[in-house]
Every structure is written in C-alpha cells, then in structure tokens.
Amino acid sequence: MARKKYSKRKERARKKEKIKAKKAIAIPNEEIKRELKISAIDEGTVIDHIPTDATFKVAEILDLENHQGIVSIATNLQSKRIGKKGIIKVGGKSLTQAEVSKIAIVAPDATVNIIKNYDVKEKIKVKTPDVIDNVVKCSNPVCITNNEQVATKFYVLRKDPLKIKCHYCERSMGKDDIEII
C-alpha cells in the first residue's frame, strides 16, 4: 500500500517534469534571452537591426537624452542578419518622417516597429534617401556650408557602406566621417 502511494507520487512528479519541459520548449531560448536583455514596451517605437557602431548615433538623432519616457538601448546583440546589432526602445514616442530618413543614413538596415498595446502595429524598413538635405555636416572646413548660412546638401553615391558627396565643395565622405547636424 505504502509502496503504491509512493510510486503514484513519483508518477505525478514525473508528469509535472514533463509539463515543465514542454513549457521550456514552447518559448524559444533566444526569445527568453532577448526579453531578459531588454524588455517589451506597451506603446512607442522600437528601432531594430541597427549596426552596433551606429546605435548611439541613432540615440543622438532622436535626441533621446532629453526624452521623458522609457528609453532602453542595447548594443552588441547577436543578429543572424547583420552579425552584431543594436536595438533602441522608446516608450511613448512616434517618429517623424524626417527622423526615419536620418536613421537610414547611419543605419541602412534598420527596422522601425510601431508598438501599440504591446503589439507590433507597423514595421517600416528604412530607406536611405538619394539626396540628404541639411542633416549631415560637411567635413571640409572651408566649405561654404561651414562658413555661411547655407544648408548642407549631399548626394548619396553608395548606400551601404554609405558614401556621400557635398553639393558645394564636392568633398566625398564615408560613414565614419558622418556628423549629424
């Protein structure tokens, strides 16, 4: 009698283990890890697939230092698509078209996710413009744009890695020379 009870208990414990194991399989490991690193937001914008070295540039473009809502920045995360990547989650903020275009200049593979009520409502793939108006500073100190009240203008020669040429002084610049105005 006592032995039977014991084995029943054992059986129950084994079933419990099985259920536990199933639960663990149901949520992919990668997802658990990711959510631990940087938690989901209820309302706002997630900028994903940012090249690691551009993560803080994107934060600067969006002026997140002065944002009043939640801001989570993660960088050097593993990405199947781009090797290492950065993610920025901004609670209570939607991006303007101008902000999305600026992001495309430093993060041509970025995805902008609009989150509403914890769901991804919209997923926008950014697009590098052909002409960049008044966003990037010319690296040539004698360029007219650095000496007079003239807005900068660059032509995009190559999108990834970025190569641009100043409309005024014809200086070519690569992604490492980019300074956002």
> Whose Cβ is closer to Zn ion: residue 72's or residue 140's?
140
> Whose Cβ is closer to ligand CTP: residue 46's or residue 103's?
46
Pick from 50, 62, 71, 87 the residue near ligand CTP by CB under 6 A: 87
Calculated CA dihedral for residues 144, 147, 153, 155, nearest 10 degrees = 60
Structure tokens at 59: 């934060």
β-strand partners of 122: 114
Stretch that binds ligand CTP, among 17-25, 109-117, 129-137, 163-171 (CB under 6 A): 109-117
Residues found near Zn ion in the complex (CB under 5 A) = 138, 140, 143, 166, 168-169, 171
Stretch that binds ligand CTP, among 4-12, 100-108, 116-124, 137-145 (CB under 6 A): 116-124
Q: Report how far apart, in Å, the C-alpha atoms of 100 and of each of 28, 87, 104, 161 are.
A: 31, 15, 6, 18
The item of ligand CTP, Zn ion, none sharing an interface with residue 113, based on CB under 5 to 8 Å by kind, is: ligand CTP
Residue ranges in 27-86 that form contacts with ligand CTP under rule CB under 6 A: 40-41, 46, 48
